[in-house]
Amino acid sequence: MTAPFPNRPRADAREKVMGAARYGADHQVAGLLYAMQVPATIAKGRIASLSVDAAMQVPGVIRVLTATDFLPPPPATPGAPPPPATLTAYIAYRGQPVALVVAETLEAAIEGAEAIHPTYTTAPAFTSLIEQPGVVREAVKPVTAGDATRAMARAVTRHKADYVSPPQHHNPIEMLSTTAVWENGQLTIYESTQSSSNTKGAVMRNMRLTPEQVTVKSPQIGGGFGQRGGAQRQTALVARAAMLLGRPVKLVLPRGQIFHNATFRPMNRHRIEIGADASGKMIAVRYDADQQQSREGQFPPDYHESVPMLYGIENYHGTAANLRIDTQAPGYMRSPTPHPSCFAFESAVDELALKLGVDPVAFRLRHRATTDPIHGQKLSSCYLSECLTEGARRFGWERRSLQPGSMTLPDGTQVGWGVASGAYPGSAHPNIVTLRVNADGTTRFAAAGHEMGQGIRSTIEQVLVRELAIDPLKLEIAIGDTSVAPQHTTAGSWGTASVVPAAAEAAAKLNAAMAELLAGRQVAGNLHRQLATVRRPSLQVEVEHVAVDQGPKDLATLRKGGMALVGPDYSTFTTYSYIAHFVEVHVEPGTRRVRVPRVVSIADCGRVISPRTAESQVRGGVIWGIGAALREATEVDPRYGGWLNNDLADYVVPVNADIGSIDVGFIDRPDPLINALGAKGLGEVAMTGCAGAIANAIHHATGKRLREMPFRIEDLL
Amino acid sequence: MRPFTYARPESAVAAVQAFTAAGAGARYIAGGTSLYDLMKLDIEKPQHLIDVTAIRGLDGIETNGERLRFEALAPMSAVATDKVVLRDYPVLAEALWKAASQQLRNMATVGGNLLQRTRCLYFRNGAGGTSVGNTYPCNKREPGSGCAAIGGLDRGQAVLGQSPSCTAVSPGDWPVSLVALDAYVEVLGASGTRSIPIAELYRLPGSTPNLEFTLQPGEMITAIVVPKTKAGRHSTYHKIRDRESYAFALASAAVALEMDGDTVTRARIALGGVATKPWRATAAEALLAGKPLTPATALAAGRAAFADAKAGKQNGFKIELGARTVADALTIAAARNRS
């Protein structure tokens, strides 16, 4: 295992501060055309007629693409989800694109789009809320360990309650966009995506192109959060327009269209029962979860991933179901299912601890997890107890009084201290990387991975700069581009753990190659100088890195642009990252505003590769937790479908003034089994449990238990 | 996105002439922080824009005489940081700096701010523009089409002053503070100048919610005049919202007190975020007159302010929240009275 890493600046900090970083829509192309989608204004039905005449009258409009301009859906590929639909006459949700207007200017494209008013045959009824008629319930396989029913029967103390998390949208600041260039039979897509490989595959299949014909470039992303993890519907529309017109085309989706077409976190509900034995230890969990789902959607209701890994409770029975209604497809949003499940479960644990009259930190420390009860194997590492202990120390938890409503300021402000834990699966993906050191002082590292602000370039730079005598200022890290290396979907906190071991292997291989080249000669200077001295312009190595349990089959899948993910339950162990959050809330006596003046969060992500960006990841996750607990919800008027508060003024995310001090700490102990560096994931686990800690702190402040997010002023008046 | 003509006259008289000549479909534009937004949403569809920002000598801030006079083109940020306003009229300064963001306050003018339109979600997000894509009936946008907010998601809607046609909240902060201080506006039109008490600038929705202001076509606000009052020093604008900054009010209160010791001799109270126009709470003012300000009388005044309030499905909390907002505002203002 390696030593701790130093606190280096973010690899692209200067570029970003100077405004020089180039994102998807920043790519400039000569002869560019601009596109705008026309959104459907019904919630369900079919287009009866669509006239493009008025739009074509708008000066500057060149073409309007409609459903007839697209090939039928491609044949199914086994094991791969179908690419997103293009334009279809069938309308499955409000806001679905019905046409794409292409024009010489953005203004003309918008004016053209506003001139298109299709007529529709509306469906007799539609379902836009899970409480309405027309819902199709579809259970998935339960997750079980031991015998929860029998264990619950012998439990001495039980707690049972329902918890709810609303629909939410990611809202990265960078809008969804696509720029497509079709030239000499080659299609190049410039698009901020977390999955250039997915995007390439979807466009390829929709357009019937070969892999050699399509390149997707996504070097910098202005926030991913899962919204950009799958192929987007608009990509093929823009690509088709570029191919039909023989000119490059750009589309930037307006925020309201993103709300209606991007994926989102579906509404989800949790009924949880926990039983404790006479010694006050949790022995049984029965947990039923369900979630909003679209008619065809595939986002799995995996609400039983993280919770069983927190406390090693031996008897667990978890059910989950999709509730299919008429909406666009939901999808992965930061800490996708573990955020709501940890909110719900950690609220329930708090309620049970209170029922037992036990301090909630002490209660959690009674349950140290060493095994994965679901798969019956060891956890490769779990330092949750250390997170709780260190967090409690930094927070000053020993000064907390147990009784809710017992801590107040002189002006009557109620003070509450809450704690909650979180966990997130540790997965990994193979990576085929190329490392080239040049005599001219430059170095280039090409790999699978996408930079969405999380700091993947910084983690790669940390490893290369430590292992290689190179000039860090002339290090190019080429990622997010299907032409530099086979790409994967960078999500689920597997990005760093899938690339830094490969970078370390490549560095070792290059050092070995250099030693071989020098054949025992002593040559002064760094690798660049050494190469110059021996008159070699460059030295290049390639590494095919596979994760635990993986082999050539997985490399072949990666080469084809597919996902070759492994974990968190490997053949002989299970890997999770952990976090403990400690939150202080202040509840105003009169108008009941909730403030969060301070948070302490301690994470176990194995070895921390880049302390600077890791801390930033955790702060971001905590802010997401504050947003989720106190503010964010996308609202549906069931008479209309779609989303009512579809802009950043009315979908309320926290602002700087809402955020107090966030003290971040790490256990920073390498996981012994997951990879050579001992690095687990961090970006997702950062958010898990935070909302639960806020709910628990509000209860401690006020004595009022809030079980449905977001908690707003009206819930405490 | 629709074509429009654009003129940039250099005097107020020329602006009014340009507007009159342009006829229907003309709009004045100053900072553009509201109009451009509404154009993107396909709500405002001006055919002629008369840009008034080239008019000279219409952005003055006068605080020396018997009254405060803010010319219409003064930026919100300039009035919010004026030394006299900050010292003697915190209610005005706070109403300005608790609105929008610094960037918007640098662009937006104190005159244009008075004519800001509602943030009702069904009004804003239902015009069918491609940026949002929704279509909702709205009597304010399309007279006679109905009101989607009634029977819909109404958490943000008004509890005071609503009609069977419209429940949209008057969104501003600045107008609420001006209503509390009995300000008036100076207006220039084709037939000359006139003054309008600020409270009379705003209409109740009634059966014509599309008519929001009492300005005649072509009339332009040129200045805001606030009679000086000792109560200004003992004033506050208290704004409660879903986050600490950059949001419209769920409930707000502009309060200015004249006090004799702990006894309120005269209270001025206006409400924002809860009513269909900037709302003067006269019953609450009357209740307090001659009484000591205690937590009990403050809350009683707050409750009196909402005695006539009517809740919808989700906005009932605004009645209690509004009452407590008034009570807290009175307490804050009274504390300033003692300092």
Q: Over 70: is that where the pLDDT of B142 sits?
A: yes
ipTM of the complex: 0.96
The C-alpha of B280 sits at a distance from chain A's nearest C-alpha, in angstroms, of: 20
The answer to whether the beta carbons of residues B2 and B45 sit under 8 Å apart is yes
| Record: contact B125-A646, CB cut-off 8 A | yes
Contacts of A640 in chain B (CB under 8 A): 134, 136, 148
Cα separation of A99 and A103, whole Å? 13
Contacts of B151 in chain A (CB under 8 A): 639
Question: What CA–CA distances, in Å, run from A546 to A46, A390, A470, A553?
Answer: 47, 34, 26, 10
Binning pLDDT at 50, 70 and 90, where does residue B338 land? low
CB-nearest to B324 from A590, A595, A637 is: A590
Query: Pick from A596, A569, A582: which is nearest to A655 by CA?
Result: A596
Quote the pLDDT of residue B337.
58
Q: Where are the alpha helices (DSSP H) in A551-640?
A: 552-559, 611-630
| Record: contact B243-A650, CB cut-off 8 A | no
Cα separation of B337 and B261, whole Å? 9
| Record: contact A591-B240, CB cut-off 8 A | yes
Question: What CA–CA distances, in Å, run from A514 to A468, A536, A647, B204?
Answer: 11, 11, 55, 82
> How many beta-carbon pairs below 8 A join chains A and B?
116
pLDDT in tens, B290-312: 999 999 999 999 999 999 999 99
Query: Pick from A52, A44, A39: which is nearest to A116 by CA?
Result: A52
Low-confidence ranges of chain A (pLDDT < 50): none
The C-alpha of B7 sits at a distance from chain A's nearest C-alpha, in angstroms, of: 20
Binning pLDDT at 50, 70 and 90, where does residue B133 land? confident
Task: Name residues whose C-beta falls within 8 Å of residue B300's C-beta, 6 or more positions apart in sequence.
Answer: B287
Quote the pLDDT of residue A78.
76
Give percent of chain B above pLDDT 70: 99
Whole-structure pTM value: 0.97
State the amino acid at position A536 in one-letter form: R
Q: Where are the alpha helices (DSSP H) in chain B?
A: 12-22, 35-40, 76-80, 83-88, 90-97, 102-107, 110-113, 121-124, 174-180, 282-288, 295-305, 317-338
Which of B123, B132, B248 has the most A C-beta neighbours within 10 Å, making it the best mutation to test the interface with A? B132
| Helical axes A495-518 vs A456-467, angle rounded to 10° | 20
Cα separation of B170 and A174, whole Å? 31
| Record: contact B1-A107, CB cut-off 8 A | yes
Long-range interactions of A550-554: CB distance < 8 A, separation 24+: A550/A430, A554/A430
Query: Pick from A436, A17, A342, B111: which is nearest to B96 by CA?
Result: B111
Quote the pLDDT of residue B1.
62
* Mean pLDDT value across chain B: 96
The C-alpha of A205 sits at a distance from chain B's nearest C-alpha, in angstroms, of: 28
DSSP conformation class of A67: G
Quote the pLDDT of residue A75.
87
